Amino acid sequence: RKEVEQDPGPFNVPEGATVAFNCTYSNSASQSFFWYRQDCRKEPKLLMSVYSSGNEDGRFTAQLNRASQYISLLIRDSKLSDSATYLCVVNPGYSSASKIIFGSGTRLSIRP
């Protein structure tokens, strides 16, 4: 079983729709969680951190469920510019020098 698993998609949704992705992780002791966004032929960039209490940044909401070992990303009122690959990232340790683990990504395509 992979340490971090994501549905690869692609998710193809109309503009204005709400879309949600999940990401599961296998190490129950994992410490911190993040979503990165990667545009086609570009490098990944941090989208948002995921906190235990859930957190929101504009149209984006991230949730963590430690009991079931998954994190989620919800995008409301999706825009064409949201088309990208979304990478789930898990930090298994306490240090920033831990071997952080990236999921293989979920592709999202927003159609007009």
Q: Does 97 bind other proteins (CB under 8 A)?
A: yes
Residue 9, phi-psi category: left (phi > 0), alpha (psi -120 to 50), beta (remainder): left
Q: Does 103 bind other proteins (CB under 8 A)?
A: yes
DSSP annotation of 42 reads S
Distance, in Å, from the CA atom of 86 to the CA atom of 37, rounded to the nearest integer, reads: 5
SS3 52: coil
Binders of other proteins among residues 7 to 26 (CB under 8 A) are 8
The residue among 64 and 87 lying less far from other proteins, judged by its C-beta, is 87
Q: Does 87 bind other proteins (CB under 8 A)?
A: yes
State the residues that interact with other proteins by CB under 8 A.
Answer: 8, 31-32, 34, 42-46, 49, 87, 91, 94-105
